[in-house]
Structure 1
Amino acid sequence: MSDDVVEFLRARLNEVAELAGQCDGDDCGQWTADGDTVDFCQMDLSGFHPTIAQHVALHDPARVLRDVEAKRRVLARHVLSPAINDPALHWDNRDDCQYDGEDWPCSDLLDLALSYADHPDHREQWRSHQMRTR
């Protein structure tokens, strides 16, 4: 499990950002819900159960794009340690996360990947490893 989980997460975040970007996330404003109606800025759509309308409005494109950016910053912090072959460092013989020193891939990356567990490219060992660390 080298950088596979990082590549997987980058691909998923790119997919989510692309889709949100196609929904005019930057120009529209915030989606809102009122009862069974979702205001998508350009049009209102009714007929939702009020709870579903609130859920849809909560995932407006601008918010999704902010979430993607936050997750990309987490990925940027959690990288494989460059400490390979440095005898001064105690973790020389194992792969570690540079951010937290955990075995690679670290729990934070596995937690991020868990939200995509239904994706066909998600690997079972990521889920089983993550479940063991709880």
Structure 2
Amino acid sequence: MNDIVEFLRARFDEDEVAAHAAKDSPIITSIARQNGKRAAAEHIARHNPARVRQDVNAKRTVLNVLEHWPSWTGPDGDLPARIALRHMAAVYADHPDYDPTWT
């Protein structure tokens, strides 16, 4: 389970760094609005840097809980914590360090 936990921690760190770097940049939202892409602008606004940082903090909390989950098995014989970690990692399936055996 350590590999997937380390992978997720690294991705959360990357997300946080990217959000912090973008915190003072209204460029994307401005461009989307100028091009008449209201839905895109609203999506970008909903995923502003402050919200991304809050999301990263929430995911870190969940990760910390799952990492220390009791070792009981679910109906399919797999650990529920591992199932949850696999779903969290699948968001980053396009990352070169992602291990497809996690799914």
Counterparts of 1:15-54 in structure 2, within 5 Å, are 15-24=14-23, 40=26, 44-45=30-31, 46-54=34-42
Deviation at 1:74, TM superposition (A): 0.4
Deviation at 1:5, TM superposition (A): 0.3
Distance 1:59 1:9 in 2: 19
**TM-score scaled by structure 2?**
0.78
- Structure with the greater alpha carbon radius of gyration: 1
Distance 1:114 1:64 in 2: 18
Structure ranking higher in helix proportion: 2
Classify the secondary structure of the residue corresponding to 2:55.
helix
> 1:109 maps to which residue?
85
Deviation at 1:19, TM superposition (A): 0.9
> 1:75 maps to which residue?
63
Distance 1:7 1:48 in 2: 41
Q: Is the 8 A contact 1:78 1:109 kept in 2?
A: yes
- The amino acid across from 2:43 in the alignment is H
Structure ranking higher in strand proportion: 1
Higher RCO structure (Cα 8 Å, ≥6 apart): 2
Note the residue ranges of structure 1 that are not aligned, 5 or more in a row: 29-38, 81-96, 128-134
> 2:5 maps to which residue?
6
Deviation at 1:48, TM superposition (A): 4.8
% of aligned pairs identical?
36
Classify the secondary structure of the residue corresponding to 2:42.
helix
Report the aligned-residue RMSD: 2.5
**TM-score scaled by structure 1?**
0.62
